[in-house]
């Protein structure tokens, strides 16, 4: 696996279906979730009014904000309830050697990708 430009940010064992891993990397507060043999890294900030998503709930591939119960897909970051154009930022997470890896520079790595995200 090519991990050039990536940095180790945590251990796989720190995440379970009921417990995301929360960390700060490159200026982002990030939550790593597990669902059905996949792991997802999302920004841990609700695009509605800024709640920490990790203080909410997970139901399969959905995470539910603790403040107003908006629901977001882990795989896409898209808000699915209520239906609107909001997204949570998602990050390109890699797994290697029982660890999580993220790009050193999230902003540069994803330049342009978040432009339309609210």
Considering the complex, state which of residue 25 and residue 48 has its C-beta at the smaller distance from ligand FES: 48
State the residues that interact with ligand FES by CB under 6 A: 46, 48-49, 51, 65, 67-68, 70
CA-wise closest residue to 94 among 32, 24, 22: 32
Residue with Cβ nearer ligand FES (86 or 99): 86
Cβ distance to ligand FES smaller for residue 9 or 46:
46
Strand-pair partners of 62: 59, 73
Could you tell me the smallest distance in angstroms from the CB atom of residue 22 to ligand FES? 16
In whole angstroms, the minimum distance from the beta carbon of 113 to ligand FES comes to 22
- Give per-residue burial for 6-26: e unless 16+ CB within 10 Å, then b: beebbebeebeeeebbbbebb
- Could you tell me if 69 and 63 are in contact, meaning their C-beta atoms sit under 8 angstroms apart? no
Q: How far is the CB of 37 from ligand FES (least distance, A)?
A: 27
Q: Which is nearer to ligand FES, 8 or 68 (CB)?
A: 68
**What minimum distance in Å lies between the beta carbon of 97 and ligand FES?**
35
Type and span of the H or E element at 21: strand 21-25
């Amino acid at each position: 696996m090519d991990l050039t430009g990536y940095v180790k940010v945590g251990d796989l064992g720190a995440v379970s279906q009921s417990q995301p891993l929360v960390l700060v990397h490159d200026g982002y507060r990030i939550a790593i979730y597990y669902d059905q043999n996949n792991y997802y890294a999302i920004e841990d900030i609700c695009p509605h009014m800024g709640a920490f998503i990790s203080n909410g709930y997970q139901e399969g591939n959905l995470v539910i904000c603790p403040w107003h119960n908006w629901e977001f897909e882990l795989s896409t970051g898209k808000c699915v309830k209520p239906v609107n154009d909001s997204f949570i930022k998602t990050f390109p997470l890699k797994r290697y050697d029982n660890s999580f890896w993220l790009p050193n520079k999230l902003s540069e790595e994803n330049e342009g990708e978040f432009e339309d995200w609210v």
